[in-house]
Amino acid sequence: MAKQKKIPMRMCLGCQEMKPKKELIRVVRTPEGEVLIDKTGKKAGRGAYICPSLSCFEKAKKGKKFEKALNHPVSPEIIEKLQQELTESEQS
């Protein structure tokens, strides 16, 4: 195998930059209509990605980017949970 594996890239909802999927946090809308933070990156459903950064999160939140990307309303609880996880990952 001479060919190198391509790194999957995704766009952050906040800064709109393309980044390696692994560096981003995945938010998924499941076929059941739930919106979850997908830590494994393997859940079925429509996914959206964001940098583990509060500034990107704020931008995405302000622009209702999660709703648009997932084509589904995102409850304030989910937003809060996401924000919490981001804060934790920024601190570590």
Interface positions with Zn ion (CB under 5 A): 12, 14-15, 51, 56
**Cα dist. 38→2, 5, 50 in Å?**
33, 23, 12
- From the CB of 54, what's the least distance to Zn ion, in Å? 10
Indicate the residue among 21 and 30 with the shorter CB distance to Zn ion.
21
Collapsing DSSP to helix, strand or coil, 40 comes out as coil
Q: Give least dist CB 45 to Zn ion, A.
A: 21
Grouping H, G, I as helix, E, B as strand and the rest as coil, residue 56 is helix
The single-letter code of the amino acid at 62 is K
Instruction: Give me the least distance between CB of 14 and Zn ion, in Å please.
Output: 4
CB-wise, 9 or 44, nearer to Zn ion? 9
